[in-house]
Amino acid sequence: MTPELGQLALVLAFLLAIAQGVLPLVGAWRGNRALMAVARPAAAGQAVFVAMAFGILVYAFLHFDFSVQYVADNSNLALPWYYRIAAVWGAHEGSLLLWILILNLWTVALAALSHRLPEAFAARVIGVMGLIAIGFLAFILFTSDPFVRLLPMPADGGDLNPVLQDPGMTFHPPVLYMGYVGFSVAFAFSIAALLGGEVEQAWVRWARPWTNAAWGFLTLGIVAGSWWAYAELGWGGWWFWDPVENASFMPWLVGAALIHAQAITEKRGGLRAWTLLLSIFAFSLSLLGTFLVRSGVLTSVHAFASDPRRGVFILAFLTIVVGGSLLLYALRAPKVAGGKPFNVVSRETALLIGNLLLATASAMVLLGTLFPLIGDALHLGRISVGPPYFGLLFPLLMAPVVALLPLGPFLHWGKADGGVLKQVMLRAGIAAVACAIVAAFFVQGQLKAIVGVASAVWIAVGVLLYALKRWREMPRGRRYPAEMAGMLLAHLGVGVFVIGVLLSESLSVTHDVRLTPGQSESVAGYDFRFDGVHRTVGPNWHADQGVVTVLRDGATVATMRPQKRTYSHEQVQTESAVDAGVFRDLYVALGEPMDANDIEGAWALRLYYKPFVRWIWGGGLLMMLGGFVCAGDRRFRIKRIAAEAAAPVVAASPQESPA
């Protein structure tokens, strides 16, 4: 298996991507069925070759082929096999390859599940996916080839960054990419709709499950990253508002807005232009995230500054894809607001407000992330924008969302019944206030914690009241369609997330201590007894491992083993010890020995007590589940009748501009 074959596979995939990106679009434009028919085989062929290239890289890693520069840089003989596989996406070139592979997975899934779509429309959608693939394959072939040889071949390789040598981190990038790239499907649908000048909004219904699934993956990817940061870094934090994190959060926010906008467009026909725009935004922000992270424009303390070619390439690609789509939008988006009318008090209005706030929050994150660059450009001096900024503005923007969330489902489309609404608000409000009062006794009057309990109860009671209403009013089997069940799960997830964030932020205790073996320190009613440090070894690291026994009222609660690892290339990495619980985490990180020559003496340790911190990820997982459940709704499966009815419309000449 020579790596050159991998390169060849990539070249072939590139050629097929060109076929997939150009011919079906031309075919759909000229009404040429033969050209349209190229779409699926080309997509499948491209996927086969990309998978082949990916497989060859995996093989090279598994067989220690250090004659490949990328392998030599990111693995060594001591690295266990599972981390050698993870090493494939351990650096720039390989993670790009993974990105393309995932793009191909989505395309193939789309090609397989779109047989009932109108022919021309499906051809356009797959064609647009092909255009995206062309860009990324060109990027990898021309600037970031993972198969470059290293001669003479070294006897052993470098090392995979120890940061990656953690189960959480091995799976975080692929899942995150599933989310990022998944938005390309909704994007391709909108572009196809714009190109074809769809009069119907049927395409929105077809796009919905894809959007929900992508958003679910993105949620999972972010949760995994956050959990990993918490467990691995020893700071007890779970979100840092770092530019790289923000890059993943912006598409998430827009994706959440898009999911709701699609619901309006699909069911009521309104907001067509806005839904188109959001689909473009969601994927554009995914691409933008890639650009920001890889061009080094923001995180650059150097990296790409040494190779501006990559930055320029992505910027050019971004300009073509995003600029082109927005121009297309400007020229062809439906000009007349369609859809059914609605009252001020209606579900449409509530969703619009929610959309506005989510979109504004995303814009705020973008502004805060880019502002240092704006500062440079306008000579305002070097400016830092960090957690205090985002941490102030984001909750302000999200507070109305939390307030509206439980009411949404009770609002009817078109015109809502104020009486029902008042009743819900009264019940949820009373429950929230009552719980807040009870909570106040337990949280030492911490306002943040009380607000957290109140908002979570407000959301949860609202969701449960709606579930109850459906249970009472609807016949069995019709009570909870998947789409609604998903919505309820995701909304409940928001409540769980809110309580997790606010309680853990306000009630956590952090304590840096110096302990000699046998000494104890009490944190939040738990006694942490330090039992000393000893040496231990792993497959490619050795470590100082501390033993900390946690006692409560004399009974052992947990034995924790925080480590300080040194990997084969002298990189040091801490492994925090976490004792997870539903209502609290105990967390110990090992610092430095007080005397570097005496590891059996006193050490600096950081002890944490973190109540409700799991609820943050629990809430995230519920949101993810909501996205997936929603995506599985039977209503979204394309009906042949609907497809045939829509076919003549799409086949119409694209020059025909919509009214």
Residue 45 CB, shortest distance to other proteins, in Å, is: 28
x/- map, 419-458, other proteins, by CB under 8 A? ----------------------------------------
**Interface with other proteins by CB under 8 A: which range of 14-22, 135-143, 445-453, 571-579?**
571-579
Residue 219 CB, shortest distance to other proteins, in Å, is: 13
Check residue 67 for interaction with other proteins (CB under 8 A).
Answer: no
Q: Contact at 8 Å (CB) between 449 and 499? A: no
- Of 454 and 523, CB closest to other proteins: 523
Residue 193 CB, shortest distance to other proteins, in Å, is: 15
Residue 70 CB, shortest distance to other proteins, in Å, is: 8
Q: Which of 248, 262, 279, 563 binds other proteins (CB under 8 A)?
A: 248
Structural tokens at position 267: 């069911």
Closest C-alpha to 569, from 61, 232, 157, 91 = 157
Q: What is the DSSP letter of 149?
A: B
Residue 455 CB, shortest distance to other proteins, in Å, is: 20
- φ, ψ of residue 429 to 5 degrees: the values are -65, -45
- Name every residue whose Cβ is closer than 8 Å to that of residue 284 and which is 6 or more positions away in sequence: 187, 318, 321, 322, 325
- Of 77 and 474, CB closest to other proteins: 474
**Interface with other proteins by CB under 8 A: which range of 12-20, 102-110, 363-371, 549-557?**
363-371
Q: Which of 584, 606, 610, 614 binds other proteins (CB under 8 A)?
A: 606
Q: How many helices and strands (H and E) does the chain possess?
A: 20, 10
**DSSP letters for 544-579:** EEEEEEEEETTEEEEEE--EEEEETTS-EEEE-EEE
**Contact positions with other proteins (CB under 8 A) in 122-141:** none
Q: Which of 1, 113, 315, 482 binds other proteins (CB under 8 A)?
A: 315
Check residue 467 for interaction with other proteins (CB under 8 A).
Answer: no
Count of residues that interact with other proteins, criterion CB under 8 A: 139
Check residue 547 for interaction with other proteins (CB under 8 A).
Answer: no
H/E run at residue 638: none
Check residue 538 for interaction with other proteins (CB under 8 A).
Answer: no
In angstroms, rounded to a whole number, what is the distance separating the alpha carbons of residues 159 and 143? 23
Q: How far is CA 524 from the centre of its chain?
A: 34
Check residue 505 for interaction with other proteins (CB under 8 A).
Answer: no
x/- map, 574-593, other proteins, by CB under 8 A? x--------------xxxx-
Q: Which of 118, 130, 135, 270 binds other proteins (CB under 8 A)?
A: 270
Check residue 41 for interaction with other proteins (CB under 8 A).
Answer: no
Check residue 301 for interaction with other proteins (CB under 8 A).
Answer: yes
Residue that has been written with the tokens 């691409």 in this structure: 287
Structural tokens at position 222: 């972010």
Check residue 167 for interaction with other proteins (CB under 8 A).
Answer: no
- Of 112 and 396, CB closest to other proteins: 396
176: helix, strand or coil: helix
Q: What is the DSSP letter of 153?
A: P
In angstroms, rounded to a whole number, what is the distance separating the alpha carbons of residues 191 and 382? 39
- φ, ψ of residue 82 to 5 degrees: the values are -70, -35
53: helix, strand or coil: helix
Size (the chain), residues: 659
In angstroms, rounded to a whole number, what is the distance separating the alpha carbons of residues 531 and 541? 22
x/- map, 551-570, other proteins, by CB under 8 A? -------------x----xx
Residue 356 CB, shortest distance to other proteins, in Å, is: 5
Q: Which of 128, 322, 431, 650 binds other proteins (CB under 8 A)?
A: 322
Q: Which of 397, 461, 465, 485 binds other proteins (CB under 8 A)?
A: 397
Q: Contact at 8 Å (CB) between 451 and 402? A: no
- Of 46 and 95, CB closest to other proteins: 95
Structural tokens at position 547: 């033993």
